[in-house]
Structure 1
Amino acid sequence: MSAIISLQDRGIVEIAGADATKFLHNLVTNDISKLVPGEARFCALLAPQGKILVDFLVFVEGDGETRRYLLDCPSSLEPDLLRRLGMYKLRAAVRVTSRSDEFAAFAVLGEARPDIPALAMARDPRSETLGWRLIAPRGAKAENAREDYEAARIAAGVPQGGVDFAYGAAFPHEANMDLLAGVDFTKGCYIGQEVVSRTKHRNLVRKRVTPYHVDGEAPAPGTKVMAGEIEIGVAGSHSGDRGLALVRLDRLADAMAAGTILTAGGASLDFVVGRAAG
């Protein structure tokens, strides 16, 4: 059986009430109206200018008036998420509650469905190689194998907010949300939708979090990525000989075409363009 990995840096927010589906669907980047128990959606709440304020995985439990949504979000951003959801609630029949004292997020790598009690469980929608994501009672038995999850995440090219991109400064395309099933381009209006749609249809993506391989020690997060004397981006998270960096795509393409060695903190980086680092 695969290890149950505790994700202690995640919080759990519950959205319930008669208007919960409409409320959440009209706010986030993905289609919530079609979400069913046993599935999860990768979503973000954006600023009106289209930049990511907080990203999260959404699960649904129950049906009809008992239907409720569980958001698996960064714990550091949970207070701000609760505040923003409360601000948008207005007169909607919706209850927004923190459940982080009771429940926690866990990951299980591998194909087989975990045989463990959970409030909600689904395949991670961002990548098949990330296995299962679940919400279970806090204190559930788990193994100290976070490094295995980080290695799988980085190999799949899945960025982590706050390390690989800055919340409040990055657009969904820059964080690869369009490549990781995090944006529904057919669902209609939501906050920031016009900017996201325009970026896609006008091909305005200038930067992306891009995987790389390194021979030797990977650069620390925040290290500048250089093509000769030209700065093309900044390094993010890494595991072993793999890492992620937010780079200017045009400068990366020019450097690769010219055979320019790409470096960060003295390490030579080999970027993997157009696919995950695995």
Structure 2
Amino acid sequence: MSESFYAVLSDRAVIRVSGPDRVSFLQGLVSNNVETVSATKSGYGALLTPQGKFLFDFFVYQQDEESLLLESERGENGERAAELFKKLRMYKLRAKVELTDVTDSYDVIAVFGKDALANLFTDTTPGTTGRIANGIKAVDPRLSAMGARILLPRNELAEMAAIGASESDEESYHQLRVSLGLPNGSEELEIEKSILLENGFEELGGVDFKKGCYMGQELTARTKYRGLVRKRLLPISVEGPAPEAGTIIMNGYKEAGTIRSVHGNGGLALIRLERVSDDADLVAGDAKITVHVPGWVKLPETAA
């Protein structure tokens, strides 16, 4: 039996960026290289404060030869999408760009499981993109182990049966996501506080260090080249009562990290690398915490 599942992600928004300056407009704002996005390649990146702190992350797809689509978090009552739209409009200035919220026109779907990519792609390189019916399919641009992302026009979910995927739920998607160490926007990243390289953006293809200037580039580059990464967002296992987001993880009398999210028996935590070792006795509230380092994560040599 095929192990391919899909979940409609209700907390996702879609913003269309169209017009002749769409690429140059985003190129000066986004941490990744928007010029590489095409009909066959999608990307992942972030919009930062001028000081280099996290504001929004999103996937970037080419809708057609005139338009790009940004798939971002929607937030409760749509406030996060509205904030992103407002921020983009503020930076638009005289650029020949049109911004349109097209969230109500699309279902954003995650396809995951051992066979998730088998009926969708022959090339499973992250970001590989193609068409599916009247929509877009892409190998997750961060990590192919996460499966695929699909943007389908509303009311076309019958396409999921055609690729052999069984309906699942968002929580199953999030449990896989945290086990792989992938953040979900402001659920795990602190707005105006988090630094991209502490949260895996370099390894996950969310930063291009050769593209030139973008907002917040200076801190991001300095963090990399001066080796300033001392914390990392990492998967955890939880034994005992699930701690709330924000709970401090203790190693004896020393703070070892902070819980960012819990889904099922796992979650994500921002870990102080110098406070964690294989024999560390970590607790958060009344729960025992075990930290895992996914294969894609590259820790500093002193913390490896």
TM-score, scaled relative to structure 2 = 0.83
On the 8 A contact 2:230/2:272 being kept in 1, the answer is: yes
Structure 2 counterpart of 1:69:
68
2:111 paired with 1:112? no
Query: Which of these residues, 226, 234, 240, is aligned with residue 202 of structure 1?
Result: 226
On the 8 A contact 2:200/2:232 being kept in 1, the answer is: yes
Structure 2 counterpart of 1:125:
141
Q: Quick one: percent identity of the two aligned structures?
A: 37
Identify unmatched segments of 5+ residues in structure 1. Answer: none
Residues 130-149 of structure 1 aligned to structure 2 (within 5 Å): 130-141=146-157, 143-149=167-173
SS at match of 2:174: helix
TM-score, scaled relative to structure 1 = 0.90
Taking the aligned partners of 2:292 and 2:239, their CA distance within structure 1 comes to: 14
Cα distance change of structure 1 residues 237 and 113 upon mapping to structure 2, 3 Å threshold: farther
Taking the aligned partners of 1:20 and 1:51, their CA distance within structure 2 comes to: 23
Residues 1-278 of structure 1 aligned to structure 2 (within 5 Å): 2-63=4-65, 67-76=66-75, 77-109=80-112, 110-114=116-120, 116-141=132-157, 143-252=167-276, 256=277, 259-273=279-293, 275=295
Taking the aligned partners of 1:222 and 1:118, their CA distance within structure 2 comes to: 41
Cα distance change of structure 1 residues 276 and 21 upon mapping to structure 2, 3 Å threshold: closer
Cα distance change of structure 1 residues 29 and 113 upon mapping to structure 2, 3 Å threshold: farther
Taking the aligned partners of 2:237 and 2:296, their CA distance within structure 1 comes to: 11
Cα distance change of structure 1 residues 123 and 260 upon mapping to structure 2, 3 Å threshold: closer
Taking the aligned partners of 1:81 and 1:4, their CA distance within structure 2 comes to: 27
Number of residue pairs the alignment of both structures matches = 270
Identify unmatched segments of 5+ residues in structure 2. Answer: 121-130, 161-166, 298-304
Structure 1 counterpart of 2:164:
none
Alignment deviations for residues 197-235 of structure 1 (CA, whole Å, 9 cap, x no partner): 000000111222111223345433222111112222211
SS at match of 1:250: helix
Alignment deviations for residues 18-68 of structure 1 (CA, whole Å, 9 cap, x no partner): 1111111121000110111132211100000001110000001323xxx21
Deviation at 1:16, TM superposition (A): 0.4
Taking the aligned partners of 1:150 and 1:260, their CA distance within structure 2 comes to: 26
Taking the aligned partners of 2:177 and 2:134, their CA distance within structure 1 comes to: 22
On the 8 A contact 2:34/2:43 being kept in 1, the answer is: yes
Taking the aligned partners of 1:48 and 1:4, their CA distance within structure 2 comes to: 37
